[in-house]
Each structure stands twice: as structure tokens, then as C-alpha cells.
Amino acid sequence: MRGDDALLLDMLIDARKIQRFVAGMTFTDFQANEMAQSAVVREFQVIGEAARMISGTTQEACAEIDWRAIAGMRNRLIHEYFAVRLNIIWTTTQSDIAPLIAQLERYVPPDLGSIE
């Protein structure tokens, strides 16, 4: 089983990937790009799975991270894949990923955070 440090690093790396995948895109671009949609949804699933596996102790220590919302998004993407709403995915990429990256960077050592 992966430790919390590795899971936090996974989350950080995947959040940064989402930023790269949508960089320079508009929502219209995103709607028209199945590859970007698929990649972003996949990274959200990985982030959510890692968040779900983080220990309660680490979740308490990193209380500003909304663990429940992250895991909830993963659950919707996995179990309600047929009802994924692109506007919600897009809004999340635009409003929540940068703050999540900033939060995670506080807990991932700088030398590890540069691995990608």
C-alpha cells in the first residue's frame, strides 16, 4: 500500500497535469476535444482515489484540503460516468485545481514536487 507522502505526490503531479492539459483552452475548445476531456477526467479519478486512501491523521493535518469533495468527485466520475457534466469538470479545472496545487505544495517536499 502506498504511503501518504506518495499519495500526496500523486495528487500534486496529477493536478499539475490537469493544468497543462487545459492550458490555453476555452470551454468551447475543451468541449470539442475528446482527448483532453478523457485525460482530465482520468486525472480527476486518480486524484480522488489517492485522496480516498490518505490516512485520517494526514487528512486532519491537511484540514484545508476538501478530502470529501475530492473523493466525491471521483465517485461520481467512476460510478456515474454516463452522466459526466463537462461544465462541472471545466469549472473545477478553472477554479479548484490551482488552489489544490498550492495546498498540496505545502505538504509535498520541494525536491519531490519537482518530479514529473
* Dist CA 100 CA 108 (whole Å): 12
User: pLDDT digit string (tens) for 5-35?
Assistant: 999 999 999 999 999 999 999 999 999 999 9
**Distances from the Cα of 51 to the Cαs of 6, 7, 29, 83, in angstroms?**
11, 7, 29, 22
Rg (CA), the chain: 14
List, in order, residues 6 or more apart from 39 with CB less than 8 Å away: 17, 21
Q: Which three cell numbers stand for residue 75?
A: 465517485
User: pLDDT digit string (tens) for 94-105?
Assistant: 999 999 999 999
The amino acid sitting at 50 is A
| Catalytic residue positions, numbered | 74, 79
* Dist CA 71 CA 20 (whole Å): 22
